[in-house]
Structure formats: structure tokens, C-alpha cells
Amino acid sequence: MEQSKRKFPSRVGKKLRTQFGAGILVIVPIIITILILVWLFGYIDNIAQPVAEALLGRTIPGLGFALTVVLIYLTGVVATSVIGKRLVRYIESLLARVPLFRYLYTSIKQIMVSFTTSSETKFLQVVLVEFPKKGMRVLGFVTSESRVESGEKLLTVFIPTSPNPTSGYLEIVRENDIIRTNISIDDALKMVLSAGKVSLKEVTDRLGAEN
């Protein structure tokens, strides 16, 4: 009886920690997104309101929000049209001449494209990589494969950080040093975004087979 009483606070505490951690994983990205959008709305509003006041003699509540939504939509419309695609490529080619911007923009865009589209830059496969030290394994996304003169296959693997998969590490590893899996990109991303709360049985099975 006494033992069950001692276990009860422990179970409650563990449940509370789990629920609190899950709550953080949900609410923090939402808050960050909201803060970025509020800043963007406010920035555009600070530009638009003086113009509205000069033209109409008064400010318009919510003008920044409305203009931001319209701007995003129109950008999407233009970017998906034939002429728009050419215009975007032309603008990107101009911006690519700016040294610092070139590396930041192209890197971020390639990562975002890899997560959201089925283009040639999409991740090829989910693998398990030994990282950050021997004996430890992490999920990695194969971005390309190549062979050296000896015939050995090398893989370029992107290792995402959790819970933000848009940043991470890039490793070039030998094929013998990775474990290939049948895990889908979406399922692997769910595991990364949830900080492991959404676990994948195949991962544990493959690691168990190693031992």
C-alpha cells in the first residue's frame, strides 16, 4: 500500500512533465510564427498608414494586415505564372551576385524546397547515421549519392536538428557507415518535429538488430 502511494506522485509528476513538454512543442512554434507575422504586419502598417493618411486624411485600422495578405497572395500568383517564373529566376540571378545573400538565400531555399516539393532536390531517403560520436545514431536525409574512382559510394546526408529541421549538419559518409530505412520523409519529419515524441518502430527495430 505504501509503495503504491509512493509511486502515485511519481506517475503524476511524469505525466505532468510529459504534458508540459508536449504543450511547449505545440505552443512555442505557434507563438514564434505569430510574433513574426505581427512584426511583418506592423512593419507594412508603419509604411502604409502615413500614405493612407496623406491621401484620405485618416488612418485605416488593419491596413497592414490586409496589405500583407494581398502581397503574399499576389506574389504566389505571379510566381506560379510562366512570366512570373522567369521574373523570379531573373531576380534570383541578380540577388545571387550579392556574396552574403547568395549563400543564405540559396541554402534556405534549397532546404525549404526539399521539405515541401517533389523536385530533383527532394531528399532521396531516410537513413540512420552515426552522429555525433561512435555508438550514437540519428535520423538523416540523403540528398545525393556519388562514387569515387575506387568504386566506393559516398552519400551526402543532411542531419536535421530537433525540433527545427530547417537547420542542421551536413555530412559526407561512406555507404557502409549508414543504415538505410524504409521510413518516409513525412514520418521522419514528424519524429524530428516532435523531438522524438512520435517514435518510429523501424528505428528501434534496426538499432535493436545492430545490438
**Is pLDDT of 147 > 80?**
yes
What is the model's pLDDT at position 138? 86
- Least confident segment among 60-69, 122-131, 196-205: 196-205
**Is pLDDT of 116 > 60?**
no
CB-based contacts of 151, cutoff 8 Å, min separation 6 = none
What is the model's pLDDT at position 101? 65
- Least confident segment among 81-85, 170-174, 176-180: 81-85
Give residue 181's pLDDT band: very low, low, confident or very high (50, 70, 90): confident
What is the model's pLDDT at position 5? 54
The rounded Cα 64 to chain-centroid distance in angstroms is 27
Q: What average pLDDT score do residues 163-186 get?
A: 83
Cα(27)–Cα(41) distance, integer angstroms: 21
**Is pLDDT of 120 > 50?**
no
**Is pLDDT of 145 > 70?**
yes
What is the model's pLDDT at position 151? 78
* Domain residue ranges of the chain, discontinuous segments joined by +: 1-95, 125-210
The domain defined by 125-210 folds into SH3 type barrels. (2.30.30)
Task: Name the average pLDDT for the chain.
Answer: 75
What is the model's pLDDT at position 98? 72
Q: What average pLDDT score do residues 105-113 get?
A: 63
Cα(209)–Cα(2) distance, integer angstroms: 40
Cα(106)–Cα(121) distance, integer angstroms: 12
Q: What average pLDDT score do residues 163-175 get?
A: 81
